[in-house]
A = this chain, B = another copy of it.
Amino acid sequence: MHLSKNEIKHLHSLSQKKVRHAEKKFILEGWRALKEALNSSFQIELVAVLPQYLENQDYAKTISEIGERKIPLKELTELELKKIADTVHSQGVIALTHQKPFSLNDNALKQSSLVVAVDSVSDPGNLGSILRSADWFGVDAVLLGKGCVELYNEKVVRSTVGSIFHLTIIEGVDLQLALPEAQKNDFWVMAASGDGKEPYTLAKTKPKNVLVFGNEAHGVTKEIRTIADAVIKIPKFGRAESLNVGVACGILLAHLREKTQMRNRD
């Protein structure tokens, strides 16, 4: 069945943050993201696809799972898809998906040993990259500060490459309250900063750690530096003014995991 005009209008309206926020829904793009969403507990309300993909063997399994799960599967034209999503990245499929809010009350901190906190990162690609790395390195929870770009922004969702469906991500966190709370729960809070004092390779860690990353232009705030147990840096060997925050996050997570492994081997 083809999407109705009203459905197209509705899907298109979800490119607006305020609509996503009001309805607690978002648009997912692409077959990989759809597959990850189907394997998660995220609720999918509707899938819309270009007709030529319905007969494509590569996606037959996903199409049949949509049928088994009784999720409405509709067709749309290239032009309609263009109105709703980025056609290049959507690969001919989009899905109307419910947001899945986690809260700090979920005891997330108590059951975690590795947490990433993101304070006001503004570039969607950077937040997506942080989430993808957090997923790769098995981070238990991600806390997004109030100043962060919106999690369900289509560019963020796209650049997580499906990782958004794997992680416990808590939005709108007041880090000035949450970080001291984490410290009470035996977490060691490290803020990453280009002008940090301790090289990350020498910095002390504990069995439970929080890594905090700040805004691309302004870094971590003074308030968070004051709260943090340590402000760590990645030493520079060349001339670049700074490292990308997503890259910095990957380096520190890799190092923490390596350190844990070595400790376990000793």
B238 A135 Cβ-Cβ under 8 A: yes
B137 A237 Cβ-Cβ under 8 A: yes
Contact partner, A248, options B234, B248, B250, Cβ 8 Å: B250
Known: A201-B258, A201-B261, A261-B201. A243 touches B250 (CB 8 A): yes
Contact partner, A162, options B241, B247, B257, Cβ 8 Å: B241
- Chain B residues with Cβ below 8 Å from A163 are 239-240
Contact partner, A133, options B162, B201, B243, Cβ 8 Å: B243
Known: A129-B247, A246-B246, A254-B251. A240 touches B161 (CB 8 A): yes
- Nearest residue in B to A134 (C-beta to C-beta)? B238
- Chain B residues with Cβ below 8 Å from A257 are 235, 237
- Chain B residues with Cβ below 8 Å from A250 are 243-244, 247-248, 250-251
- Chain B residues with Cβ below 8 Å from A243 are 132-133, 136, 250
Q: Which of A137, A166, A240, A255 has the most CB of B within 10 A?
A: A240
List the interface of chain A (C-beta within 8 A of B): 32, 125, 129, 132-139, 161-163, 166, 201, 234-244, 246-251, 254-255, 257-258, 261
